[in-house]
Chains A and B, each alone.
Chain A
Amino acid sequence: MKRGMLWSFVCAVLLVGMAGAPAAPAGDMELINGIDANFPPFSYVDKNGNPDGFDVQAVNWIAEEMGFKVTHKPIDWDAIIPSLRAEKIDMIASGMSITEKRKEQVAFTNPYWTITQVLVVPEDSNLTVEQILSDGNKVGVQRGTSEAKWIQENLIKKEGRDFELVMYDSAPLSVEDVVNGRIVAAAMDDAPAVDAVKKKPVKILGRFGMPDESFGYAVRKEDKELLETLNEGLRRLMASPYWEELKSKYEL
Chain B
Amino acid sequence: MPASIDAILDALPYLLQGSLVTIGVVLGAMGLGLLIGVSLALGQVYGPRPLGVPIGLYIWFFRGVPLLVLLFLFYFGLFSLMGLNLSAFAVAAIVLGLISAAYQSQIFRGAILSLPEGQLKAARALGMSDTRAIVSVVLPQALRLSIPGWSNEYSIVLKDSAVAYALGVAEVMARAHFVATRTYEHLPLYVAAGMIFLILTFLGTRGLRMLEDKVRIPGYSR
Instruction: Answer whether residue B28 sits at the interface, using C-beta atoms and an 8 A cutoff.
Output: yes
Q: Count contacts between A and B, CB distance < 8 Å.
A: 125
- Cα distance A24–B86 in the bound complex, in angstroms: 5
Instruction: Answer whether residue B61 sits at the interface, using C-beta atoms and an 8 A cutoff.
Output: no
The answer to whether B168 touches A75, judged by C-beta atoms less than 8 angstroms apart, is yes
> If the complex has contacts A13-B27, A22-B90, A76-B166, are A86 and B211 also in contact, measured as CB distance less than 8 A?
no
Query: Closest Cβ of chain B: how far from A78's Cβ, in Å?
Result: 7
Q: Main SS of chain B's interface residues?
A: helix
Query: Closest Cβ of chain B: how far from A196's Cβ, in Å?
Result: 7
Q: Which of A5, A14, A78, A176 contacts B186 (CB 8 A)?
A: A176
- Cα distance A22–B90 in the bound complex, in angstroms: 7
Q: Which of B17, B90, B143 contacts A6 (CB 8 A)?
A: B143
Residues of B within 8 A of A17 (CB): 27-32, 93, 97
Q: Which of B32, B72, B85, B94 contacts A79 (CB 8 A)?
A: B72
Residues of B156-170 whose CB lies within 8 A of A: 165-168, 170
- Cα distance A88–B72 in the bound complex, in angstroms: 12
Complex interface: stretch among B39-47, B108-116, B176-184: B176-184
The proximity string for B residues 1-33 relative to A, scoring 1 for CB distances below 8 Å and 0 otherwise, is 000000000110010010000001101111110
The proximity string for B residues 103-126 relative to A, scoring 1 for CB distances below 8 Å and 0 otherwise, is 000000000000000000000000
Instruction: Answer whether residue B76 sits at the interface, using C-beta atoms and an 8 A cutoff.
Output: yes
* Range, interface on chain B: 35 or more
The answer to whether B31 touches A74, judged by C-beta atoms less than 8 angstroms apart, is no
Instruction: Answer whether residue A239 sits at the interface, using C-beta atoms and an 8 A cutoff.
Output: no
Complex interface: stretch among A40-48, A145-153, A207-215: A40-48
Instruction: Answer whether residue B129 sits at the interface, using C-beta atoms and an 8 A cutoff.
Output: no
Residues of A within 8 A of B181 (CB): 37-40, 44, 170, 172-173
- Cα distance A107–B166 in the bound complex, in angstroms: 23
7 tightest CB-CB pairs across the interface, nearest first?
Answer: A17-B31, A20-B24, A17-B28, A75-B168, A199-B184, A45-B178, A38-B181
Interface residues of A (CB under 8 A from B): 2-3, 5-6, 9-10, 13-18, 20-22, 24-25, 34, 37-40, 44-49, 73-76, 78-79, 82-83, 86-88, 169-170, 172-173, 175-176, 196, 199-200
CB<8 Å pairs between A and B, sample of 17:
A2-B215, A6-B143, A9-B211, A10-B34, A16-B27, A21-B89, A25-B87, A34-B168, A38-B181, A44-B178, A47-B14, A49-B17, A49-B170, A76-B168, A173-B186, A176-B186, A200-B184
